[in-house]
Amino acid sequence: MKNESLQQRRLAASPRGIGVACDFYAAKALNAELWDVEGRRYIDFAAGIAVLNTGHRHPRVTRAVAAQLECFTHTAYQVVPYESYVSLAERINALSPGAHAKKTAFFTTGAEAVENAVKIARAATGRPAVIAFGGAFHGRTLLTMALTGKVAPYKVGFGPFPADVYHVPFPNALQGVTPDDSLQALQRLFKFDVEPSRVAAIIIEPVQGEGGFNPVPAALMQALRTLCDEHGILLIADEVQTGFARTGKLFAMEHFGVVPDIMTFAKSLAGGLPLSGVCGRAEIMDAPAPGGLGGTYAGNPLAIAAAHAVLDVIAEEDLAGRAQALGDRLKTRLSALRPRVPQIAEIRGLGGMVAVEFNDASGAPDAEFTSAFQQRALRSGLLLLTCGVYGNVVRFLFPLTIEDAIFEEALDILEASLLA
Ligand SMILES: Cc1ncc(COP(=O)(O)O)c(C=O)c1O
């Protein structure tokens, strides 16, 4: 099989709306390495878009899935339940921030988790409105698209969107938007557009993912908690991209000393199998009536088995500590390059959730340089993803289980590609 002929078949068989980053086709992958159908090797710093904190085919994960395959692959939890779902919910309830009673429901995709979090918040409060942030990414379904704070390419041509979704600016030091600006925008929203007593929830990513790996300033997160408490609004933390040790803690909210009412998670939960979830205060989670939540595949047993193994690996291999250590190494290496790469405007991130932003000499976002750097790295065998509202950020999503030697090799490619 050749990449070129597969590329022609892809273009003829699947729509261009599914934008594809690479023009080669996967044949095999292990931990942080991936080989294409022609045998070419890549170091994978994309990790299936933040899904593989435990790497490709971690032996613990593949063993757990293989064992589950021998038992049953699907019963529909709503028809015939299974213990592994219950025990995974118990584990997430115990591990997520806050000592209060919690309940967890599982779904399949991140967008589905966010949709359900909003449904639950509306059912619990009896209120319709939801506030999200500019630059946020919450998914591609109609409601999550409405919550997403970036027009192109996500929303173009897809409206009308569900009503009662509002946005306020996300703080961004480089662009001169302060946490106070965000809080003032919320107050203006309450004055001009929607009274706080109609707002069910404020949803926020603790570190914006697609938006550019921007951590929420702790002061803003704390102020949001106070504001929510004042008005009976629920705080939803969207941990779909930040969860499961990426930021140096199991959940990014642990960095802020703020407990959300509801949390969504997906991606690295199940090591490559599709699984997402919503965890929240028990009384809030119980607001929807029986039958109001669920989905045919929600909480698939193979994915649940993988998730148990992922949680074991994160604890036993101290992947939170490893995320911090690898993130620090990457930041040090990037910082040393700063004098020789004037386009570097900022190196930022939390733990292993690190990104570098590029501007041109006038201080404007330099998407062209960003893309050229990404392509140079790819040609040298390092797979990187961009992000950011202006497409001028490269984010690093290496498996946290990556071998030291391969991490160093990747940093060498990164350096050469930046200096080329
Ligand atoms: C923070 C956040 N929420 C939700 C989603 C949507 O997840 P999915 O693509 O699994 O629907 C994503 C995906 O990137 C995300 O980063």
Q: What are the pLDDT digits (tens) for 222-243?
A: 999 999 999 999 999 999 999 9
- Residue 348 phi, psi (nearest 5): -145, 175
Task: With beta carbons less than 8 A apart as the criterion, state whether 309 and 64 touch.
Answer: yes
Ligand 1 center–CA 70 separation, angstroms: 31
For residues 379 and 295, the answer to whether their CB atoms sit within 8 Å is no
Helix axes 404-419, 367-379, angle to 10 degrees: 130
Mutate to test the pocket of ligand 1, among 108, 148, 241, 386 (most ligand atoms within 8 A of CB): 241
Query: Is domain 62-317 classified as CATH 3.40.640.10?
Result: yes
What pLDDT does residue 289 have?
A: 98
Q: Distance between CA 71 and CA 66 in Å, rounded?
A: 9
Per-residue pLDDT band at 305 (split at 50, 70, 90): very high
Length of the chain in residues, anyone? 420
The C-alpha angle with vertex 246 and arms to 27 and 166, in degrees rounded to 5, equals: 105
- Does 137 sit in the ligand 1 pocket, CB within 6 Å? yes
Residue of 203, 240, 263, 353 with the most ligand 1 atoms within 8 Å of its CB, for mutation: 240
Q: Which CATH class is domain 3-57+318-419?
A: alpha beta
The better pLDDT of the pair 13, 175 is held by: 13
CB atoms within 10 A of CB 333: 16
Question: Which is the closest atom of ligand 1 to the Cα of 49?
Answer: 14
Strands (E), 90-198: 102-107, 129-133, 165-168
Assess whether the C-beta atom of 239 lies below 6 angstroms from ligand 1.
Answer: no
Kindly state the average pLDDT of the residues 106-116. 98
**The token pair that represents 121 in the structure block:** 């918040």
Q: Where are the domains of the chain?
A: 3-57+318-419, 62-317
Contact 286/104 with Cβ under 8 angstroms? no
CA of 206 to the centre of ligand 1 (A): 13
- 107 in helix, strand or coil? strand
Please tell me the distance between residue 139's alpha carbon and the centre of ligand 1 in angstroms. Answer: 5
Q: Is 138 in the pocket of ligand 1 (CB under 6 A)?
A: yes
pLDDT attached to residue 201: 99
The structure tokens listed for 280 are 């929240």
Q: How far is CA 192 from CA 161, 186, 195, 338, in A?
A: 20, 10, 8, 44
Which residues, including other chains, have CB under 8 Å from residue 354's CB and lie 6 or more apart? Answer: 213, 327, 330, 331, 334, 347, 348, 395, 396
Alpha helices in 232-366 (DSSP H): 282-285, 301-316, 319-337
Distance CA 322, CA 328 (A): 10
Cα separation of 404 and 109, whole Å? Answer: 31
Ligand 1 contact via 240 beta carbon (within 6 Å): yes
From ligand 1's centre to the CA of 420, what distance in Å? 33
Q: Which atom of ligand 1 is nearest to the CA of 274?
A: 10
Report phi then psi at 107, rounded to 5: -135, -155
Q: Encoding tokens for residue 278?
A: 């919503």
201 lines ligand 1 (CB under 6 A): no
DSSP letter at 365 equals B
Cis peptide before 290 (omega within 30 of 0): no
* Pick from 119, 99, 137, 71: nearest CA to 304: 71
Residue where the block lists tokens 């990014």: 252
Nearest atom (ligand 1) to Cα of 114: 4
The reported pLDDT for the residue numbered 121 is 99
Would you state the pLDDT for residue 327?
Answer: 98
Q: Of all atoms in ligand 1, which is nearest to the CA of residue 239?
A: 1
- Pocket probe for ligand 1: among 18, 133, 137, the residue whose CB has the most ligand atoms within 8 Å is 137
- Smallest CA-to-CA distance from 214 within 138, 327, 136 is with 136
* Distance from the alpha carbon of residue 241 to the mean position of ligand 1, in angstroms: 7
Mean pLDDT over residues 380-389, rounded? 97
Mean pLDDT on 315-341: 98
Query: Residue 263: pLDDT band by 50, 70, 90 thresholds?
Result: very high
Atom nearest to 209 CA in ligand 1: 16
The 10s digit of each residue's pLDDT in 56-80 is: 999 999 999 999 999 999 999 999 9
Q: Is the peptide bond before 153 cis (omega within 30 degrees of 0)?
A: yes
Question: N- to C-terminal Cα distance for the chain?
Answer: 32
Residue appearing with tokens 């027009």: 151
Region 365-376: what's the mean pLDDT? 98
Task: Supply the pLDDT for residue 336.
Answer: 98
CB 56 within 8 A of CB 44: yes
Query: For ligand 1, atom 7, which residue shows the shortest CA distance?
Result: 110
Does the beta carbon of 241 sit less than 6 angstroms from any atom of ligand 1?
A: yes
| Ligand 1 mean position, distance from CA 267 (Å) | 8
Ligand 1 pocket, residue 109 CB under 6 Å: yes
Query: What pLDDT is recorded for position 392?
Result: 97
pTM across the whole model: 0.98
Tell whether ligand 1 has an atom less than 6 A from the beta carbon of residue 110. yes
Give the angle subtended at the CA of 382 by the CAs of 380 and 385, to the nearest 5°: 130
